[in-house]
Chains A and B, each alone.
Chain A
Amino acid sequence: MSKTARFGPLAARLGECPELDVDALIDDPGTHVIVCTGSGGVGKTTTSAALALRAAERGRHVVVLTIDPARRLAQSMGIEKLDNVPRPVPGVDGAQGGSLDAMMLDMKRTFDEVVESQANPDKAAAILGNPFYVTLSSSFAGTQEYMAMEKLGQLRQDARKTGRWDLIIVDTPPARSALDFLDAPERLSGFLDGRFIRLLLAPAKGPARLMTAGFGAVTNTMAKIVGAQVLKDLQMFVAAFDTLFGGFRNRAQQTYQLLQTKETAFLVVAAPEADALREAAYFVERLDADDMPLAGLVVNRATSALDGLSAEQALAAAERLQSGRDAATTAGLLRLHADRMRRVARESKMRERFQAAHPHVPTVVVPALSTDVHDLDGLRTVGDLLAG
């Protein structure tokens, strides 16, 4: 699919959108992987944790992979230590026979472990110490997404082998774009497979020979600009990494295929804001176009307000009260209400627009809480709201 074309019904009227039944999703024994995705700051981590806790307390054996939870939430889930190992979450109600493990993704460590498992000790040491590897494993755009996928693949394999879990819930990294999660493996393997790398590896062999004249000029230029040592580091890195390429690509493809099967469900998380819904739309379209299993949309932090008094009425009344004395509190209540009503109107308009363009997407709207979520009780509350 072209990356720029939009994907949708092309002509649509506003209708009722189907409701997302979260409990049906997590209770379905055929659901083995749930991926929560969306742009940064929309509450993905909280949503995935709440979903995981709810599923566990309804009898599933769940492991949740989180990326960057708030400190207090991480503490209450017993995962404040970043050690890449799933641990049981204390305080989960196991009356229905379920269980909950949680872990926080350590991107660099996951990458290191893959290298260590794929290369012999000498080669692994050479790779781990190379400055290019250090950048690739710690700040290459897409590594975090890639490693989240790698970890998901590992957990799924573990789950199949040991039967320890029957549901894996994944929180995705706070990417610039939600699509990065899907594109990262392709991007990384395409990149490691690129022409430049092949040239660095075998400058005088095969079809590359035809290009080597120009290539000499290129490496000379590079050496002039960044220094010869950098080029040498680079060549060493590429040579050492060469043997790992195939393995990397295979694993990425396997995980991608896992994401396309019926045992996976994607939940797109958004806030009722223009930016977040735009990202959600891109993601939904991408899943549709690639035939991937979209379960639905979670609109987090929605404003709610009481019915029966419009923003205009409330503001007019507040103005009239203002002239009298001792009515400051009532006027304040009315202004607060008017502010809420305006937000409600704006948010529902944005949601309607989204629905018109994506009429088939089951949606659940989660009202904003007045307090932060930082313990299991908070997560249970969010879980109740998610279930409608």
Chain B
Amino acid sequence: MTAIVASLLVACAAPTEAAPSVFESPVTPTPEGRIDKLVLAKLSKLGIPPVLCSDAVFVRRVYLDVLGTLPTAKEAREFIQDPDTKSKRRLLIDRLLARDEFAEYSAMKWGDILRIKAEFPVNLWPNAAQAYHRWVLASIAEDKPYDKFVREMLTASGSNFRVGPVNFYRAIQNRTPDGIAGAVALTFMGTRTESWPTNQLAGMAAFFSQIGYKPTREWKEEVVFWDPLSTNAEASNCASNSSTLTATNIAPQTAVFPGGKRVKLSPDRDPRKVFADWLITPRNPWFTRNIANRVWAWLLGRGIIQEPDDIRPDNPPSNPALLAYLQKELVASHYDLKHLYRLILNSRTYQFSSVPRSDAAQSEANFGSYTVRRLEAEVLIDNINKVTGASDLYTSAIPEPFTYIPSDQPAIALADGSITSPFLALFGRSARATGMENERINKMLSAQWLHLLNSSHIQRKLEQGPKLKVIFDSGHKPPEMVEELYLTILSRFPTPDEAKIAADYGKPGQPKTAKRREDWVDLTWALINSSEFLYRH
């Protein structure tokens, strides 16, 4: 296999015609580790020659994927000009994984999956949504091992305001044993119980048939607890609007693991713990595969099993050996997710160019090129604000009194899906209703273009944003200003062609040195509306 890889790499080292070099590195990609070997073996079979991305593309990509935030002009410039080509990418990855925004941005993704939302439809209530988010954020910030993170959620008891992870069991629309089992399977096994045989779901639901919910004297406080007296047949504490329980054909004291093994529930042990013991172990076929595949999907834009939360026998991984390797690494690192991030980010596979050399769909499906995708709603508006120096107002109109978020807080740090803005709604932020990954929709629609191209919301930022003002009023020569705008917005230097187009833009006949303010606004507008700004690439 090594020979195949080597010949492939030689083949793609030859200079190719298309894509401008600004996006690609002339350096031949050599396999950096096991990931690359496994991916390249597949690619060579398919005849897909991958190309490495340029430093400029890399710096932008890794900031966006790890922090959900653009590099500043200074950060981009320093990285691109750093002569240490051997290790600068690795060192940057380490620096970024240590930054606070990593936890904020990860918590945003988890917020979708764990359905952190005060209001409709999961109705956690604001204090509970905040407590839930705070716990998730702190867990990520302290590098809590993933297995511990999940166990705390699955076995938590206590007040929704005080014990963050109990809200896992509250952030479910259908709080019946079946509904809870469905949420557990989706979240931690990456599988949709809709496709399961009914009795399989019922068997698993029995583990969640003794969860009680009771109010306290504090307004909207609710205690989640193990209630051994509650059974499927009299689950009166479960959601009042729940439909009929379908788990009644299972004797209350027997539960069945999704693999088929039956277990008698003992009256002195919380069945949630019995389930957690089964799930959270390297031997479990679901647990590690789900998270390894999810993290891969977050970074590469698609899962080895796609979609990442639709794992089932008839949806096999596109590269089984690759997924198995990631799982092995995760287990060996004791479920250190940052280890997995580091491994993937340092692979040449992650650093491939996004400009496909062959059929784009096939190339992306086999990780022969990085999948371009529009920035998430929160990341997009944060980046627009970062570039312009403007800010947005995030509010929740319910319950009263209305919630307002301080203007210096970025959208990725919003704890609660009910705290929002028209922009976030328009650009497909997750409704956090189901915990499914595809609730978030990163696709350009006409109405979104109207907003980006021509709304007063964006135009105001371009005309009045304080950071842009600093550039516009800097007194620097136009070519320097163009360069600064490119580094700020696109994280790279302009090409000579681009520099010329930018210099020529303006009123016909006017001297190039005398650009009007509105010409600079238009130039900024064009860069912000370019695919290069709007998409991860």
The yes or no verdict on A and B being binding partners is no
- Give B contacts to A, CB under 8 Å: none
